[in-house]
Amino acid sequence: MGLGWEETERGARGELAMRKDLDDIIQAWPYDPEPGEVLAREVRARDGRVVLQIRIELGILQMEAVDRPDGLRPHGVATYLEHLREHVTNHEDEGDDEGWTMSRSQQIEADREFVQFYHRRMAWLALRRYDKAVRDADHTLAMMDLVRRRGGDIGYIASHEQFRGLVLFHRAQALAASALERRRPEEAIDALRDGAEKIARHQRIWWEERDPTESPNPSLIEQLRLGEQEIRKNFAVEKTLREQLDDAVAREDYERAALIRDQIVAQDRTRT
């Protein structure tokens, strides 16, 4: 990050080496976002790989586009989540799986990965790279699942569970936007409905575990429902095939349900 002067370093003989400040890059990309806007871009590095950048008030964040955003390989694997999974497997093999919980140092390392994947997920959403946003949301949800089982400290677990709804919200938005780009409004509706149901289920369990007298915030669900209504209106969709299947099963019309299920399978094949 630029410090306001030309930062240099001296080589072995004392001469001035190459400039190390980022003034030119920062000045060429002003920080002037609209409210709630994330300034992100994809650029090609010197070695040809694509990296992701986010413009923040104090400078620029650069992240790798695959695996861990910081480019590190914790304990020789692609992500810290993968390392923790290996740790769980090793304890299972040794027969002491039930009692194992994350240490404080492991919690700290997991938090680093949570933050990195959050920043990259927001960048992918801003760039409308929805498939990559879904991929990173799935990583975060998997890490949350592991923390919920192995985090040990209830306060530490709660510090992440309170954000599960937001991750599910982003994932549903990305899936729906991707479907609309491919002119598949029914798929978009199903993605928003599924996301709203998952958030509602999580909030119900989450608040029951914490304090049954309190109420969850329904705003994320409401936003997904509004998006669903807008798509139905714009594309004249009354009921998707999956909704029709649910109705047939509820009526115990299993012959009709089988026909609709075949239609869904055929539809899914055309998407792959």
pLDDT digit string, tens, across residues 261-270: 878 777 777 7
Indicate if the pLDDT at residue 10 is higher than 70: no
Per-residue model confidence as pLDDT tens digits over 154-208: 999 999 999 999 999 999 999 999 999 999 999 999 999 999 999 999 988 877 7
Cβ(65)–Cβ(59) under 8 Å? Answer: no
Strands (E), the chain: 39-44, 50-56, 59-64
Residue 111 burial by CB count (10 A; 0-12/13-18/19+): exposed, middle or buried? middle
Whole-prediction pTM = 0.85
Calculate helix-pair angle for 164-181, 130-150, nearest 10 degrees: 160
Number of H helices, E strands in the chain: 10, 3
